[in-house]
Amino acid sequence: MYNRRIFSILVLVGILFSQSCATLPRINETRPNFLIILTDDQRYDTMDYMPATVATIFDQGVTFTHGYDTTPLCCPARASILTGMYAHNTGVQTNTDRLNKTTFFYDLHQNGYYTGLVGKYLNSWHGETRPEFDFWVSFFRGESAYIDPRLNNNGNWSTHKGYITDILGDYVIQFLDQAAKQPRPFVLLFAPNAPHQPATPDPADENKLTDLAPWRPPSFNEADVSAKPEWLQSKLLSPQDIALDDAFRRDQLLTLMSLDRADARIFDEMKKNGQLDNTVIIFLSDNALLWGEHRMTSKNSLYEEAVHVPFAIRYPPLIPKPYVDNRLVANIDIAPTLYQLAGLPIPSNMDGQSMVNLFDGGPWRNALLLEGWPPRGVYSAIHTERYVYSETTGDKSEFYDLQTNPYELGNQIDDPQYQTIIQQLKGQLHQLEKQKGAPPVMDPSWVPTLSPTIVPTP
C-alpha cells in the first residue's frame, strides 16, 4: 500500500511537471522555427494570384528566379525535399515507391524540435500518423476531395465538413498555438493539395476569373514536334482537350486564391504568437504542370513548365532586406539548410547544399540534375541557368538554349553552334548521374550562433 501511494504521488508530480513544461517560454533557445509551405502542382508563373503570400514571404525575403524540382512528379519530389537527395538516391522514382530513408523530420524531432505535418505527405503513404511527428493531419495517399475531406487527425480518421483549404488552415493555426506553449522550437510542413486536380474551387470563389484570358504561349499545342523524342509524338490537342484544360487552369488559380487567404490567417496567427520573425518560412511547390505546351497537359518532363516552381524564403535574422537571387536552387537544398540552421551536422549523403551560403553571396553550383522515369520514359537532364541538355533511354537527346529559345520549341540538339557546349554538358550530366551525396558548399567565415544540440534520452 505504501509503495502504491508513493507511486501515485510520483505519477501526479510527473503529470503536473509535464503540464507546466508545456507552457514554458523558449528560454535560452535560439534555434529558429521552420515552416515549409508546399503546394501541389503549382507553376512558377501563378504567384500573382497569391498577393498575401507574396507580400509576407517573397516581398520580405529572398525570391529565387531559378527554383526547380529535380524530379517533376509528386512522390519523388517530396521525397527529395524530406531527404535532400536526388531521386536516384532516395529510391523513390514513381508515385507508388515507398521512402525508406531518414528524413529531416526524424532528426529534428530527435534533437528537440516539436514536429508537425498538415496536408499531404507522400503518395505512397496511406495517411496514418508517423512516429516522428508530434502533430499530424493528413489524407489518404496523394489526393483528397476538396469538399468534406476525410482526414487522419493524430491517428483518427473522420470526415470534416467544409472546404479542405480552410480546414487545413485551421489545423495549422491549432499547431502554431500548441507550438507557442512549447519550450522548444517547431518545424511544420503545411502541404495543402491546392492546386492539384480536381482543383475544386471554394464555392465562395466560383464566380471569379470568369473573364480569364486563354493561355496561348508560342509553345501551346506545338505545331511541329518531329525533332523531339518519340514519346512526345502525340496528336495535336483537340478543341475539346483545349476547352477542358482552359477550365482546369481557371480552377487551379481559384484554389490558389483560397490558399492565399489561408496563408494570410496563418501569418496573422504567427504574428500574434510572436513566431513570425524567428521562423524560417519556405514557400515552394513540389512540381509544376503544363497547360497545353508541347501538346501536353501533364508534368513528369524536363520542360520549364514542369520543373520551374515558385521558391522563396523569409527569415529576417539572415535575410534582413528583400532581394532577388538568380542562382539555381532546388528541392534538395531544403533539408541541408534546415540542418545547418538547427545547428546539426549536414548528413554526408545529401545531394543538396545549405542555402545559408547564398545569403552571404558565397560560392554555389552552376548546374542541377533533373530525372524522370515511366510513364514518360527514363530520362536525365542537366540544367544550368541558361542551357538544358537531356538524354532519354532509347530515344533522342534534347538541347535547349533558354536565352534564345525560352519556350523550348523544336530541338536544338543538332545545331552546329552548340556542339562544344553540348559535349561539355554531356560530360557533366554523367557525373551528376553518379552523385551519391555532395559536401555542402559553405562560407567558412559564417558561423551560426545557435544553442547546443539537444538529444533527448531515448
Secondary structure (3-state) at 329: strand
At residue 326, the pLDDT reads: 95
pLDDT at 16 > cutoff 90:
no
Give residue-wise pLDDT tens across range 151-176: 999 999 999 999 999 999 999 999 99
Q: Name, in order, each residue with C-beta under 8 angstroms of 198's C-beta and a sequence gap of 6 or more.
A: 146, 251
Give residue-wise pLDDT tens across range 215-257: 999 999 999 999 999 988 889 999 999 999 999 999 999 999 9
pLDDT at 439 > cutoff 70:
no
Give burial (CB, 10 Å; 0-12/13-18/19+) of 348.
exposed
Domains of the chain, CATH where assigned: 31-363 (3.40.720.10)
pLDDT at 32 > cutoff 90:
yes
Give residue-wise pLDDT tens across range 75-130: 999 999 999 999 999 999 999 999 999 999 999 999 999 999 999 999 999 999 99
Cβ atoms of 137 and 117 closer than 8 Å = yes
Question: Would you place residue 456 in the very low, low, confident or very high pLDDT band (cuts 50, 70, 90)?
Answer: very low
The predicted model gives 275-303 an average pLDDT of: 96
Q: What are phi and psi of 117, to 5 degrees?
A: -135, 130
* Cell numbers placing 190: 503545411
**Widest Cα–Cα separation across the chain:** 92
The predicted model gives 128-147 an average pLDDT of: 95
Listed residue (285, 286, 303) closest to 217, CA to CA: 303
pLDDT at 8 > cutoff 60:
no
Question: Would you place residue 343 in the very low, low, confident or very high pLDDT band (cuts 50, 70, 90)?
Answer: very high
Give burial (CB, 10 Å; 0-12/13-18/19+) of 425.
buried
At residue 26, the pLDDT reads: 52
> In what helix (H) or strand (E) does residue 369 lie, and over which residues does it extend?
strand 368-372
Pick the residue with more confidence: 269 or 20?
269
For the chain, give the mean pLDDT. Answer: 89
Listed residue (75, 64, 69, 63) closest to 42, CA to CA: 69
At residue 217, the pLDDT reads: 98
The predicted model gives 443-450 an average pLDDT of: 32
pLDDT at 27 > cutoff 60:
no
Distance between CA atoms of 92 and 105, rounded to whole angstroms? Answer: 18
Distance between CA atoms of 284 and 68, rounded to whole angstroms? Answer: 9
* Cell numbers placing 186: 517547431
Tell me what percent of the residues of the chain surpass a pLDDT of 70. Answer: 89
| C-alpha gyration radius of the chain | 23
At residue 438, the pLDDT reads: 56
Distance between CA atoms of 360 and 82, rounded to whole angstroms? Answer: 25
Q: To which residue does cell 508560342 refer?
A: 218
pLDDT at 45 > cutoff 50:
yes
- Measured CA distances, 378 to 56, 88, 348, 375, 390 (Å): 39, 11, 27, 8, 11
